[in-house]
A and B are shown apart, each in its own frame.
Chain A
Amino acid sequence: MADERELTYIGAVAEASRTVLLEQENAFIAGEDVAGAGGVFGSYRGILDEFGDQRIVDTPISEEGIIGLGVGAAATGLRPIVDIMFMDFMGECMDEIANQMAKMRYMFGGSASLPITVITMSGGGINMAAQHSQSLEAWICHLPGLKVVAPSTAYDVKGLIISASRDDNPVFVVLNKLSLRNRGHVPEESYTVPLGEANVVREGSDVSIVTYSRMVGESMTAADTLSENGIEAEVLDLRSLQPMDTEAIVESVKKTQRVVVVHEAVRFGGLGGEIAAQIQEDAFDYLDAPVARVGAPFSPVPFSPVLEQAYIPNAGRIVTEVNELLNAA
């Protein structure tokens, strides 16, 4: 495995974007600072030079205009990739997301297709405070018509972006800021990670940790710690949040009988509640304990590094939660 090709998480975005533009002549990228600057995180470095300013377009700081551009272009036959720099900015464009993008096909009786990929960033940990650190995936998972993925590895970033771009529906690819420099194996060729399929990243028999995005890494660290104490946790990376791989969740629950759902988003009203509900609907009889949840407290993301560290869930909290769950049973 040592000679496997590696890329960073953010490098995988650039490679996926390039792959999509090569594969699909109707694909283009639009967003703030994407072309000339190559994306504020370097997501699109080199794309402008290779493809020219018709295929990658700098937009004004106009999120509603950007999403509208994507909706109109997609409805009329193009396959836009639009970049919303931070998902916190969805507030600026929620009408075009919720009332136009998500619903147009349905309202039109199925006559329109909207093959749009929205690439955006979630998560805290880099001291960007309350308006640049949120994990708002629950907002968009609540909207019928949208698909949402949240990759945890560079491999999944590339595979999910390529899948999203080939899908004829709007797909949000929710990336994570603190993961950008993480390196991982990424094949050079084009490949897909299917939408709606979770990934068992660690097998275990004592407890299932159901998670996604950067919390997959924290969960893996937690699992190592737990393993030292003889607890074998299974870690399920959902990868897709909408549609969600309920079957994979249920399979894991059947195996371990105990579940902790982990996400960086605020716990109240977060996806953990939905996942817990699905588990009790589909696998209640297999549960030996109530479904536990780890998420951020009910507060805006704080600025001070000390406060922010106290805010964001981490491996230690996951270990504590798992231990409490197992002790309660």
Chain B
Amino acid sequence: MDIGIIANPASGKDIRRLTARASVFDNQEKSAIVRRCIAGIEGLCTDATIHYYPDTHHITAAALGQTELRCQPLDAEFNATARDSTLAAYNLRNANVVISLGGDGTNRAIAKSLGDVPLIALSTGTNNAFPVFCEATTAGMAAALIAMGQLSVDQVAPRTKALHVTFENGETDIALIDVVGTCDVFHGTRAILDPSRFVFAVLSVADPSKVGMTAIGGMSYVVSDARDLGLVLSFPRSDTVSAVHEVFAPIAPGVVRPVRFTGIQEVRLGESRKFSGATMLALDGERERVLKRDESVTVCVERDGPRRVDVKACLEHAACPNPATPLDEERVQKYAN
């Protein structure tokens, strides 16, 4: 039984602690979250092996000090960049389940190479449309149940959608929730800050209960995870263009602003949309790539995102309506001591 853990030390520290009122996840808290996951895992399963991303901040390593589970750091050429999460996921593509700590950005990096492995995405980021707030102990228990083969992965970890981004030169990238074109010219602090700079957005999910672009779309038109649809928004580039939608939306944690857009369209799975002209492409809320004046990009929604685990469903499926099988007496004794 192989369980992966990828905790991103950089999540939850960006400028939105200043511009918004985003949560602070210091590294001690992240380490405590990992520790709670481990407690959940070892509570149900004593012979799992933990394969973890050895982050430079020692978040996971610090949390593994007291566990009796086998723990192995992933062996790869990590370099303390976002690429690490992708590389770690690649090395975990044969695991039974992976637990991630981060925001949309972290999970996006993981999704690039995780393949079919169920992903328990715990939120320690800022605009978290993909990961969920969930008690880490029960998340660990869900991981154990999956790893032990006690649940149907299709039932508890359905495939999410992903946005495929293809550049003219053939390079590709993905996003999980949104691809946004802005008129920023620098990566800067990476967060997208100013609605007046939005040019277009493609959404895989439009959820008014989340924050960020997904909420902006979701305030007008809800597109759930389950629906085989995406959404394209376009924004006015001058005051003379009249907006067709005006919503008050939570553009960041603690920041609700009026946002105007001029167009809102459904897009079917597999249907490509092309955008051109000088823009900054922000993927899942972070400025990632500059599109030059004469360049274009296509974006397409597919049903091939990571298998995201529904922790609640896992534990509900595992709940036993019949008389419980007797507890392993040896382990009961261990806890009694």
A and B touching (Cβ–Cβ under 8 A): no
